[in-house]
Structure 1
Amino acid sequence: MIRPNFLTASDRLELLSCVQRQREDHGVARRANALLLLDEGMSCAQIAKVLFLDDDTVRGWHKQYLAENWDAVAYDGWKGGQSRMTTAQEGNLCAWLEGRFCRSTVQIRAYVSSKYNIHYSHSGCIKLLARLGFEYRKPRALPRVADVEKQAAFIAFYESLLNNLPADEAVYFSDAVHPEYQSKPSHGWARKGSNPAIQTTSGRGRVNIHGALNLETFDAPFVEPTTVDGVSSVQLLAKIEARNPDKRIIHVIWDNAPYHKGPDVRAFLSRKKCRIHLIQLPPYCPHLNPIERLWAVMHSHVTHNRHYPTQKHFANAILNFMREVVPKQWLSFRDQVTDNFRIISHQNVRVLE
């Protein structure tokens, strides 16, 4: 039987702080909790039942405490899961980490080892980083030199255009997409152990779609050129005009690709009674083009977690989505393709060099 009141006053305060400190390692807090309960007179069996442990485990922690003190019991069995660094060392490590973007613990462990002669395992280093407030994440992509003022100006212009749009005018967004004939695994729910898999493809061909989208009617004209260029741009603009015979002006908003401003497009716009009015998006702002969201819906419907035996089957599935699914089922994904724009800036982010 273990006698109570074996903890020193200082150790008892330390163990109480471990139990109450929210950021403390869970395993260390459980050991502290067990020793505190033993010190108050509970038996190993009672503590094991309360903490869902084995009573021999509790007995071993008590034995280790008497032989080696609390520091030994607090030390994680993973050789580094619990930090053995001082507060100053942890502060220096945080400053060092904030000055770089380490992709693995190898570099971090090497730094700690060389700087402080403290050695961590992989799992121990992960615990240390989590306790210090770091997480493993991927940086999000920021549009290159996307000017905040130009984004705001475009959004204001677009809202004004829609609010004052006469009945004999229409607005289309346009862009090109090039889905490749490749299997694209994507996340989904599956029963544990079922090991879902998708067959890969051997080809590397792709389908070129140069399309446009009217958010009011969800009209989505497109052409399927061999190459997306000035010729396909003119073909698309002509198709938009043909589908809107009652519109006096058709505003087409697209990006600054060279073929969107080339001689073929300029010649088309110079025609008498041309009804197309082109509007350029701000540079590096695909997030201001709703048709990009339509392409995302297309991929989720057609390419993600799907295998096509031949490139022809793949191309037919893409074209069927544009010809059949979009016109007939657009209400089902209308909320995913919107002009709910937002400004992307570099504020509140740490831009990696």
Structure 2
Amino acid sequence: MIKKGFLSAEERQGLLVQVRRPSGVHGPARRAHVILLLDDGLSVPEVARLMYLDDDTVYQWHRRWIDGGPARLSEFGWKGSSPRLSLEDEVALVDVLKSRLFTTTVEVTALVEERFAVRYSRSGMIKLLHRLGFEYRKPKALPRLPPVETQEAFVAAYESMLNGLDAKDQVVFGDAVHPEHQTRPASG
């Protein structure tokens, strides 16, 4: 059992400041809250219940406090791995990604494996692309017909233009792409 009143007045005040700081990092503030509740005399199971934690986590955070104080309580201990692509390779990949549209992460993964001999999982490639500033976008399809008011305004403008032409003037229509009746937007 952890005995009440193990914090000095100065330690308690420091933890209170950390708990009440609105812009503070959530993890250390939560750990400080646990230490304060323990110092108030609550049992480990009571603190665990109030903070929605398990008993082992409360004991672990208390041990961290005992071993190193506020500095140890603020440590997370998580370290990311080093990037699998070098900085030069990442710059080259960004250049390729900016030069053409890739519609799936499978295409990008295949490119990276072929060009840089580094294999990524789907989730790993998504994280890499986010870190490099890319995001997946799926365009929204527009309705097939514009609103009636827009159509009527176009017809009026078109008829006005036709009525203002000379007899020798010609109206030519050009269609460069022949759109499909029900297009499906691509994404990338």
Q: TM-score, normalised by structure 2?
A: 0.49
More strand by share: 1
Q: TM-score, normalised by structure 1?
A: 0.28
More helix by share: 2
